[in-house]
């Protein structure tokens, strides 16, 4: 569970995709992703639209377009969430979607990137891309205001928010259109931290990719390697032992606690309540040391393997986890009681960034954002993976979308995670070896797999295609932030400038997770990256 082979794809002609999509949306209202796969032998690009209902059923609609005529109608008119996914495909594969609201703008790739270079096509080599990027960076710095030309009237002010802004922990740009102090429109420009992970993944073995995908995110790193393992295990027909499944679940839940607690701390930081930030982060350190204890690493755990985990965990360590988690729960409850009874904080976050369930579904939101409106969409319940089907837990939902409800959902989810970990440690089979005999996967047989898990930020989606080789043919990653970013930009409208940091960050954005595409090689282009000695010399000369 958590993953499934794609066996029944509904093929359609490119020109009738809008009709088919609108029909599908009536029974499968949630568009998960638009995946493009380039087939260099057949000289065509396959587009797979993955839809889901909120109860675990998936529907894959596939269409093929020839390499030399890459045009098809956009489904953004019936499914607004598609606009950002289509734009991603359009920039990376050069496919034109007629009617997409982002057409003609750059959302993902840098503005200086040439129009005819499409990085994810199979016949584009990594070395060529490196040249393109180097040439791009050597040019004069250019300042663009993407897509804001329609606001040239004198009554509005265009305010660039980011890429570097004290409120954002990662570089991302939002162009705010202001009327007085009220926001009328928001134009997101993502992609400042593209690293080319999808492209690099195609050139490495499955085992090496396991460590690569772990590095997509520095907070929810384990869930990325777990979902990739789920997909590859399905392709290899391997089943992990029960203890391995329990251990994976414990680590994933510890990671969820650490991620949520980190965010709650940052909420204090964004609202100007910095003591809260310090208290909460001090508590989080307990969880980090537990992760260190269990896996050997605090951040990138390198713990999972195809068919199990990479090392056994002793009973003694598990008892320490149970003890520390109990301590953490006590401290956490006390601290949250104190924080949430502090009225200035509650007043600050109540009633800002309001949205309803229908709005969130239409824009494809996932995770705590959609659960705050009362939709119990949690992959752990909807499509149980690991040992979630053997464990008794509740899906936390809120009473209507705003920053306060999102916060409450995350606060309660931490308690739910503690509950899951406690049950896991009780039920874990003690005398079993979770380490598989061989770690190396070798050649993987042909097949396509989609996998879905519940990352701390929401539903995470992977598409992995193998073609009888050591390397994957295509790895598509759709992170929860990309699904939530449209809603975050949309709910800003009507609020004031001072609310922007709190609302944008309420989706717990992980911008680096959704930017994965560009390749920068600092070894070969030492023009752009100056080494320390040269920098020192230059600075002396300047003085």
Instruction: Give DSSP secondary structure letters for 161-193.
Output: E-SS-TT-SS--EEEEEEETTEEEEEEEE--TT
Of the pair 437, 540, the CB lying nearest other proteins is at 437
HEC string of 446-504? CEEEEEEEEECCEEEEEEEEECCECCEEEEEEECHHHHHHHHHHHHCCCCEHHHHHHHH
Main-chain phi, psi angles of 276, to 5 degrees: -60, -45
- What's the min distance (Å) between Cβ of 96 and other proteins? 37
* Residues 206, 211, 217, 219, CA torsion sign: positive
Of the pair 317, 334, the CB lying nearest other proteins is at 317
Q: What minimum distance in Å lies between the beta carbon of 293 and other proteins?
A: 6
Residue 14 is classified by DSSP as G
122 or 300: whose CB is closer to other proteins? Answer: 300
Q: Min. distance of Cβ 163 from other proteins in angstroms?
A: 28
- Residue pair 439/386 in contact (Cβ under 8 Å)? The answer is no
CA neighbor of 409 nearest in space, from 362, 360, 363, 452: 360
Q: Residue 311 Cβ, how far from other proteins at the closest point, in Å?
A: 9
Residue 174 CA, chain-centre distance (Å), reads: 18
Nearest to 145 by CA among 161, 131, 130: 161
- Of residues 85 and 206, the one with the C-beta less far from other proteins: 206
Least separation in angstroms between CB 289 and other proteins: 9
| Residue among 295 and 512 whose Cβ is closer to other proteins | 295
Residues that bind other proteins (CB under 8 A): 205, 207-208, 210-212, 292-293, 295-297, 300, 302, 310, 439-440
Nearer to other proteins, 229 or 295 (CB): 295
Nearest to 355 by CA among 527, 222, 519, 484: 484
d(CA 165, CA 143): 17
Nearer to other proteins among residue 313 and residue 513 (C-beta)? 313
CB of 300 vs other proteins, minimal distance in Å: 7
- The nearer residue to other proteins, 208 or 498, going by C-beta atoms, is 208
Q: How far is the CB of 197 from other proteins (least distance, A)?
A: 13
Cα–Cα distance measured from residue 101 to residue 99, given in angstroms and rounded to the nearest whole number = 6
Least distance in angstroms from the C-beta of 63 to other proteins: 35
Residues pairing with 50 in the sheet: 33, 60
């Amino acid at each position: 569970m958590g993953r499934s082979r794609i066996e029944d794809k509904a093929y359609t002609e490119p020109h009738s995709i809008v009709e088919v999509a609108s029909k599908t949306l009536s029974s499968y209202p949630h568009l998960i992703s638009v995946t493009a796969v380039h087939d260099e032998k057949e000289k065509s690009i396959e587009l797979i639209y993955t839809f889901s209902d909120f109860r675990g059923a998936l529907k894959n609609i596939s269409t093929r377009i020839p390499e030399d005529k890459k045009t098809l109608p956009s489904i953004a008119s019936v499914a607004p969430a598609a606009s950002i996914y289509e734009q991603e495909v359009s920039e990376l594969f050069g496919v034109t979607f007629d009617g997409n609201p982002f057409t003609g703008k750059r959302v993902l790739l840098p503005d200086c990137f040439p129009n005819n270079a499409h990085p994810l096509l199979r016949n584009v080599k990594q070395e060529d891309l490196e040249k393109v990027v180097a040439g791009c960076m050597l040019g004069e710095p250019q300042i663009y205001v993407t897509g804001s030309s329609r606001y040239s009237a004198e009554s509005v002010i265009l305010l660039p928010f980011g890429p570097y802004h004290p409120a954002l922990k990662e570089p991302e740009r939002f162009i705010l259109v202001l009327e007085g102090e009220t926001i009328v429109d928001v134009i997101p420009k993502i992609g400042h931290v593209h690293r080319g992970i999808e492209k690099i993944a195609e050139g490495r073995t499955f085992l090496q990719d396991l460590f690569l995908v772990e590095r997509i995110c520095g907070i929810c790193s384990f869930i990325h390697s777990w979902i990739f393992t789920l997909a590859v295990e399905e392709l290899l027909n391997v089943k992990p032992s029960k203890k391995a499944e329990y251990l994976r679940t414990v680590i994933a839940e510890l990671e969820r606690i650490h991620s949520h607690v980190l965010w709650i701390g940052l909420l204090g930081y964004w609202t100007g309540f910095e003591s809260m930030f310090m208290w909460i982060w001090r508590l989080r350190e307990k969880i980090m040391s537990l992760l260190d204890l269990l896996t050997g690493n605090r951040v990138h755990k390198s713990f999972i393997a195809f068919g199990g985990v990479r090392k056994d965990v002793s009973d003694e360590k598990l008892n320490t986890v149970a003890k520390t988690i109990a301590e953490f729960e006590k401290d956490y409850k006390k601290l949250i009681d104190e924080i949430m009874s502090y009225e200035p904080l509650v007043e600050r976050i109540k009633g800002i960034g309001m949205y309803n369930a229908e709005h969130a579904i239409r824009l494809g939101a996932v995770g705590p954002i959609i659960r705050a409106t009362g939709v119990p969409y949690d992959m752990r319940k909807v499509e149980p993976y690991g040992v979630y089907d053997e464990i008794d837990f509740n899906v936390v939902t809120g009473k209507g979308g705003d920053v306060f409800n999102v916060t409450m959902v995350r606060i309660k989810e931490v308690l739910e995670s503690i509950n899951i970990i406690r049950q896991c440690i009780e039920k874990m089979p003690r005398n079993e070896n979770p380490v598989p005999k061989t770690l190396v996967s070798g050649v993987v047989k042909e097949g396509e797999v989609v996998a879905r898990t519940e990352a701390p930020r929401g539903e995470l989606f992977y598409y992995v295609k193998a073609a009888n080789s050591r390397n994957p043919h295509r790895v598509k990653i759709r992170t929860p932030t990309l699904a939530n970013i449209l809603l975050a930009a949309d709910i800003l409208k009507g609020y004031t400038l001072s609310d922007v940091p709190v609302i944008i960050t309420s989706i717990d954005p992980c911008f680096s997770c959704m930017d994965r595409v560009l390749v920068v090689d600092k070894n070969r282009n030492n023009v752009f990256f100056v080494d320390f000695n040269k920098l020192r010399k230059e600075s002396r000369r300047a003085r």
